[in-house]
Amino acid sequence: MTAVLPAKDLVTRLSGVFAGKLEEAGRDSVLVRADALLEVAAYLKNTAGFAFDYFNMVTAADYYQYFEVVYHLTSTRHNHSVFIKVRCHNRANPSVPSVVPLWQGADFQEREVFDLFGIRFEGHPDLKRIVLWEGFDGYPLRKDWNR
């Protein structure tokens, strides 16, 4: 059974190293500060007890006051998974570090989030629109997008 690590458990285990940079966001997901995302992600990937080597998905949701970028990671060795969230409060210029240097599977998915929400991923090798065309006006999946 791929156990989803409960957020309480994860926060307790990580707060030794990343004090103050993450907190629970619901039962199953952990909220991480945007500037600490790369460190936390690298720690989760490389530490033996976690070993999150399999990148499942990245997506985003628009909650009016902020955008929330959701990552789902799985470990093939220990068969457990985790949900990580990052919030961007800057609606005019939302930006999050890119995890492509760690997991190549994030490449296309981050481009899609950029295309449909307008969230920039700093450090992405080739950030451009993927499903819509260059010159499309706006970002369709935002809640305030007017067709």
Partner 1 sequence: MTFSTEPFVLNFGPLHPSTHGVFRIKATLDGEVVLDIEPVFGYLHRGIEKLMEERTYTGGIPLTDRLDYVNSMTNNFAYCLAVEKLGGIKVPERAEYIRVIIAELQRIGNHCLAVGAMLNDAGALGTPFFYLWRQREKIYDLLEMLCGQRLMNNYVRIGGVSQDIPAEFLPAVMKFVPQLRSFLDEYDFFLMQNEILLARAKGVGILPPEVAINCGISGPVARASGIKRDLRRDDPYSIYQRFEFEIPTCEEGDCYARYRVRIAEMLQSLHIIVQAAQSMPPGATKADVPHLIRPPAGEAYGHIEGPKGELGFYVVSDNSIAPYRCHVRATSFINLSALRQMVRGWKVADLIIIFGSIDITMGEVDR
Partner 2 sequence: MEMTGPENFPTDGELDRREGQAVEDLKAHSREAFPDPAAWLEEDVKRNIVLTSLDWIIDWARRSSMWPAVCYPACCGLEWMAALGPRFDAARFGMEIMRASPRQADLLITAGTLTWKMAPVVRRVYDQMAEPKWVIAMGACGISGGIFRSSYNVVPGYNKIVPVDVYVPGCPPRPEALLYGISLLQKKIGRAKAVPDLSELPNPLKKGGLK
Tokens of 128: 């451009």
- Please measure the distance between the N-terminal and C-terminal CA atoms of the chain and give it in whole angstroms: 43
Among positions 66-95, residues that touch partner 2 (CB under 8 A) are none
Phi, psi of 113 (to 5 degrees): -65, -40
Backbone angle region of 93, left / alpha / beta, with phi > 0 → left and psi within -120 to 50 → alpha: beta
According to the binding rule CB under 8 A, does residue 136 interact with partner 2? Answer: yes
Q: Taking the complex as a whole, how short is the minimal distance between the CB of residue 66 and partner 1, in angstroms?
A: 13
Binding piece for partner 2, criterion CB under 8 A, among 13-21, 34-42, 95-103, 135-143: 135-143
- x/- mask, partner 1, residues 94-133, rule CB under 8 A, reads ---------xxx-xxx--x---x------------xxxxx
Q: Give the span between the Cα atoms of 94 and 6, in whole angstroms.
A: 28
Give the residue with the Cβ less far from partner 1, 11 or 132: 132
What burial letters (b/e) apply to 48-85, b meaning 16+ CB within 10 Å?
eebbbeebeebebebeeeebbbbbbbbbeeeebbbbbb
According to the binding rule CB under 8 A, does residue 144 interact with partner 2? Answer: no
Binding piece for partner 2, criterion CB under 8 A, among 12-20, 39-47, 60-68, 126-134: 126-134
Contacting residues toward partner 2, per CB under 8 A: 128-129, 132-136, 140, 147
